[in-house]
C-alpha cells in the first residue's frame, strides 16, 4: 500500500508541474499586428515582441494604402482595459495621430483596432515619387510600445530599352 501511495504522490507532482508549464505559457495578454499592403499580407505574432528592442519593418509602394490591424488577446480570468494610441513619426517628429481610444477586452476574448495608412496623404505634395521614405508607426497600449518601420518604396518606372548594338 505504501509503494502505491508513493507512486500516486509522484504522479500527482509530475502532473502538477506539467500543468504549471501549460498554464504559464498560455495565460497572459498577447498582441498581434496585421498589415496588408497591396497583395502582401504580413503578421507579427506575439512571440516576435519578446525582445523589447525589436522593431518590425514593412514595405509599402508609394501611393498605396496599408491596412493595419492590432489585436489584443486577453487570456486572463479578468477583463483587460487599456488605452490604445497609434501615431506616425518621421525623423523623431510626430506627423499625425491615427488612433486614440480605450479598449476593453473581456476574459478569454479578443479586441481589435484597425486603421489605414495612405502613403499618398502621408508624403508632402512637393516630394519626388522616385525617392524612398521611412516613417515609424508607434502603437502604445498602456506602458507597452510597439514600433513598426514603414519603408515607402519609390514608384517603379519601366526600365529604358537597351540600345540596339550597331552591326
**Any idea where the domains of the chain sit in the sequence?**
28-153
| pLDDT for residue 156 is more than 80 | no
User: Can you tell me the mean pLDDT for 126-155?
Assistant: 84
Our separate counts of H helices and E strands in the chain read 2, 9
Going by the DSSP 8-state scheme, the letter that residue 143 receives in this structure is T
CATH number, domain 28-153:
2.60.40.10
Phi, psi of 30 (to 5 degrees): -120, 145
| N-term to C-term CA, the chain | 102
Within 27-111, residue ranges assigned H as helices are none
pTM summary value:
0.77
Q: What is the mean pLDDT of the chain?
A: 84
Q: What confidence score (pLDDT) does residue 125 get?
A: 62
Taking only the tens place, the pLDDT of each residue in 93-117 is 888 899 999 999 999 999 999 999 9
For residues 97 and 85, give the distance between their C-alpha atoms in angstroms, rounded to a whole number.
Answer: 8
Taking only the tens place, the pLDDT of each residue in 50-107 is 765 678 888 888 888 899 999 999 999 999 999 999 999 988 888 889 999 999 999 9
Residue 153's nearest CA partner among 136, 135, 131 is: 131
Q: What confidence score (pLDDT) does residue 2 get?
A: 67
For residues 153 and 57, give the distance between their C-alpha atoms in angstroms, rounded to a whole number.
Answer: 13
Q: What confidence score (pLDDT) does residue 159 get?
A: 47
Amino acid at each position: 500500500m505504501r509503494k502505491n501511495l508513493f507512486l500516486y504522490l509522484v504522479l500527482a507532482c509530475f502532473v502538477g508541474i506539467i500543468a504549471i508549464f501549460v498554464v504559464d505559457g498560455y495565460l497572459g495578454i498577447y498582441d498581434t499586428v496585421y498589415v496588408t499592403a497591396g497583395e502582401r499580407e504580413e503578421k507579427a505574432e506575439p512571440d516576435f515582441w519578446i525582445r523589447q528592442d525589436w522593431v518590425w519593418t514593412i514595405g509599402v509602394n508609394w501611393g498605396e494604402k496599408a491596412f493595419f490591424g492590432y489585436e489584443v488577446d486577453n487570456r486572463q480570468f479578468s477583463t483587460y482595459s487599456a488605452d490604445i494610441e497609434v501615431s506616425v513619426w518621421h525623423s523623431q517628429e510626430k506627423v499625425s495621430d491615427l488612433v486614440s481610444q480605450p479598449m476593453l477586452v473581456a476574459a478569454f476574448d479578443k479586441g481589435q483596432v484597425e486603421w489605414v495608412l495612405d502613403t499618398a496623404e502621408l508624403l508632402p505634395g512637393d516630394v519626388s515619387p522616385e525617392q524612398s521614405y521611412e516613417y515609424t508607426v508607434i502603437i502604445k497600449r498602456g506602458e507597452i510600445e510597439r514600433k513598426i518601420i514603414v519603408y515607402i518604396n519609390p514608384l517603379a518606372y519601366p526600365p529604358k530599352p537597351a540600345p540596339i548594338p550597331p552591326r
